[in-house]
Amino acid sequence: MSSVKIFSGSASKYLADKIASSYGTPLGDVELQKFSDGELSPYYTESIRGHHVFLIQSTFPPADNLMELLLMIDAAKRASAENVTVVVPYFGYARQDRKDKPRVAIGAKMIANILEAAGVDRIVTCDLHAGQIQGFFNIPLDHLDASAIFVPYLKESITKETIFASPDVGGTARARRYAKHFKVDMVVCDKHRQKANEVAAMQVIGDVKGKDVILFDDLVDTAGTLCKAADVLKEKGAKSVRAVITHPVLSGKAYENIAGSTLDELITTDTLPLREKSDKIKVLTVADMFAKAIRKIHDHESISSLFI
């Protein structure tokens, strides 16, 4: 069996170091050269011929992160790697998963096509914005679930006063899965948008008076919806409001919004790097989960044991 070599793009090296350490192998060395006009040129400084290569890189903006990953895939294929598996902790452009209005792109499908055209053999990712994005790929895709990290962390803090919530109708299924696992009730925050990243109105479907509320979502961007939901839940009588979010996109005034909100705590993962520190943000690492997935994939074992 071919041996494993793990490499990282520049955007996710902070996480790749932890994944490689958990797996028990040093992170491979790849140099990223840049021309004066910004053109990228990655270069493997060691032989990867005949090896199973795992490339770790999230595809969040700027587009250079995606382009760097594509060039690393092409370089690995041309260097005769036996298999190239791409580990994408955060799959960018996943919010563009359908035509919700005329004359728009389906960005998630386009990115899937581009990755396949580059020659990748397998994709590993976590908590896609929409699960059906898996169907955009014609190659194997392992869709890991961050509940394997959140459930053990939340286990000790669940009481009879705990209630779960979704910040919007679209995330109801996610909150319901957690509620079913912990055998607690749930409520839904119904929001109305006038434009992207801006919530016009919100109402709570369900009773939260005297409850400790935990919100669940896949990602937090500007934190507008999350903070609005926390405010509304507190107005409806909730004792406390915490949020569990897989991907901390946290763009624009997100940190300012969180700091000034009634949200008591934001629990998230390190699929994306935090730009700032915040007393309200608790980060759990996904490194061990991805390291276990890499080992099982290489050993041709089922990864179902990683799911709760």
Q: Which of 115, 119, 117 minimizes the C-alpha distance to 57? A: 115
| Chain centroid to CA 35 | 31
The domain that holds 109 is classified in CATH as 3.40.50.2020
Q: Which of 64, 69, 59 minimizes the C-alpha distance to 94? A: 59
Do 117 and 174 lie in a common domain? no
Do 253 and 272 lie in a common domain? yes
Do 253 and 165 lie in a common domain? yes
Helical residues (DSSP H) of 47-134, grouped into ranges: 64-78, 107-118
- pLDDT means over runs of 10, the chain (308 residues): 92 98 96 95 97 97 96 98 98 94 96 97 96 95 96 94 90 92 92 56 86 95 90 93 97 95 96 95 98 97 89
CA atoms lying within 13 Å on the CB side of residue 8: 16
Number of domains in the chain: 2
How many angstroms separate the first and last alpha carbons of the chain?
A: 30
Do 237 and 298 lie in a common domain? no
Amino acid at 237: G
Residues 6+ apart with CB under 8 A from 110: 93
- Rg of the chain (C-alpha set): 20
Do 42 and 99 lie in a common domain? yes
Do 168 and 86 lie in a common domain? no
Do 112 and 237 lie in a common domain? no
Burial class (CB in 10 A: 0-12, 13-18, 19+), 135: exposed
Amino acid at 253: K
Please give the pLDDT value at position 169.
82
Please give the pLDDT value at position 200.
53
- 154 in Cβ contact with 244 (< 8 Å): yes
Q: Per the structure block, which two tokens stand in for 210?
A: 């005297």
Do 38 and 156 lie in a common domain? no
Do 120 and 192 lie in a common domain? no
- pTM for this entry: 0.93
Range of the domain at 135: 4-145+287-306
Please give the pLDDT value at position 20.
98
Q: Give strand pairing partners of 215.
A: 165, 243
Do 124 and 224 lie in a common domain? no
- DSSP H or E stretch at residue 255: helix 254-259
Do 169 and 119 lie in a common domain? no
Q: Which residues are catalytic?
A: 191
